[in-house]
Amino acid sequence: MRNVFLSSILTFLFISTISGVIEPVHDDKDVVPHEEQMLDVDTIFRALGVPYCMRKCIDPFINSTTSLWTMKNVVNQARKVCSLHAQALTCLKKEQFCDHNKIFSKASSSVEYMCATKHVLFERMETCLNPVVDDVMSECDKECYARSNLTAFSQDSNIKFAATVGGNAFIVADHLGELCTSLQCTLPCVTKRLNNKCALSGWLSLDMLMQPFDAVSVMVEQLSPPLKDLIVKKIDKRCRFAINPSRLNRIRNGDFTAFNMDRQ
């Protein structure tokens, strides 16, 4: 069950990465970063209990998304992200007992989908996307507070406590609500605005971003009913869409009301 929680939470974080909200770990912990650089990825991963062998493999990939934090030159940086993601997967294959459940692969499957499956379509749209995507991402972030919510999450005293005790996925799961609220806002915003700028690019991006949620929902569906019920109860109601296959399918098809069914 811990693997399902870890995969679920990493999914939220990697979706945030692709949406442009990850900053590398700061080497000097005594240095106070600039306002836009206060996200503490190291604390988040330690709070999740991500093992060192996995960090060793995935940190270069995480750090490659620096440009996405400022939402500048996103399209051109995608190739570097793809390359380092492939290197992370290769590294984890060599560490046979580090990630035998392929949690990283599932959580970052959006990147794999973009880089390996849909790269030809993205390349065809690149000329159109390049001058507009940075502004779209920035505008949606201003509306949805993805970066500020993830920064606040990483600075939360409960998350810092989980980091100091070697990780606690249940504590982390209890504090995902605001991140899910941001995702509920960001995914429709990006989809609609990209479609308006470059035909079909929003739907292609949405399809890509939904991949890891699909993987997590399949994992949850395969659990025993008692464990499945426990996870549904434990995860913030604002995040329940992410483990419900029927709701995910509706969202993928543009029915964004499926985000808010728990509020009805």
Predicted confidence at residue 228, as pLDDT, reads 84
> Is residue 247 one of the residues assigned to a domain?
yes
> Is residue 204 one of the residues assigned to a domain?
yes
Predicted confidence at residue 13, as pLDDT, reads 64
CA 252 – CA 242 distance, rounded (Å): 12
Maximum distance among all alpha carbons in the chain? 50
> Is residue 134 one of the residues assigned to a domain?
yes
> Is residue 214 one of the residues assigned to a domain?
yes
Predicted confidence at residue 263, as pLDDT, reads 59
pLDDT at residue 22 tops 70: no
Helix (H) or strand (E) holding 89: helix 74-94
> Is residue 116 one of the residues assigned to a domain?
yes
Contact 143, 183 (CB under 8 A): no
Predicted confidence at residue 26, as pLDDT, reads 36
Predicted confidence at residue 71, as pLDDT, reads 57
> Is residue 262 one of the residues assigned to a domain?
no
Predicted confidence at residue 37, as pLDDT, reads 47
| Residue-by-residue DSSP string for 16-41 | HHHTT---PPPS-TTSPPPGGG---H
> Is residue 263 one of the residues assigned to a domain?
no
Contact 15, 110 (CB under 8 A): yes
More confident residue, 112 or 23: 112
64 to 29, 32, 81, 139, 202: CA distances (angstroms): 20, 21, 6, 22, 23
CA 2 – CA 96 distance, rounded (Å): 19
Rounded mean pLDDT, 9-16: 67
pTM: 0.81
Predicted confidence at residue 27, as pLDDT, reads 40
Helix crossing, 119-129 with 74-94: angle to 10°?
150
Count the domains in the chain.
1
DSSP conformation class of 193: H
Predicted confidence at residue 24, as pLDDT, reads 34
Using only the alpha carbons of the chain, give its radius of gyration: 17
Rounded mean pLDDT, 228-244: 86
Q: pLDDT tens digits, residue range 37-85? A: 477 888 988 998 888 899 999 888 887 765 555 556 666 677 788 888 8
pLDDT at residue 253 tops 90: yes
> Is residue 257 one of the residues assigned to a domain?
no
Q: Which domain holds residue 226?
A: 2-251
Q: pLDDT tens digits, residue range 162-212? A: 999 999 888 888 888 999 999 999 999 999 999 999 999 999 889 888 888
Rounded mean pLDDT, 145-167: 91
Range with lowest mean pLDDT among 9-13, 68-72, 87-91, 92-96: 68-72
CA 85 – CA 111 distance, rounded (Å): 7
